[in-house]
Amino acid sequence: MKGIFESVVEQVVSLVQFQVRAIARSGTKAKAIMLVGGFGESEYLLHGQRLFAVPYNEA
């Protein structure tokens, strides 16, 4: 089942990374990331986002 969602999760994480970096380039820092909709409740997607967010949480 993981294989079915892996590429989609990678795409979602990539899009969120793009948005967070765009915000940073504007001189602002994102305070939160909110995922909405049914897929936003996915533990697998949440895990992928948490891995991406670790360096930002430590800053």
> How far, in Å, CA of 3 to CA of 29, rounded?
33
**pLDDT tens for the chain, residues 1 to 59:** 677 888 888 898 899 889 989 998 999 988 888 888 888 888 888 887 887 777 766 65
Query: What is residue 25's predicted lDDT score, i.e. its pLDDT?
Result: 94
Q: Taking the C-alpha atoms of 37, 38, 39 and 41 in order, what is their torsion angle to the nearest 10 degrees?
A: 100
pLDDT at position 13, please? Answer: 87
Q: Is the dihedral of CA 23, 25, 31, 33 positive or negative?
A: positive
Cα separation values, 36 from 25, 28, 57, 58, Å: 24, 22, 21, 24
CA 49 to chain centre: 4
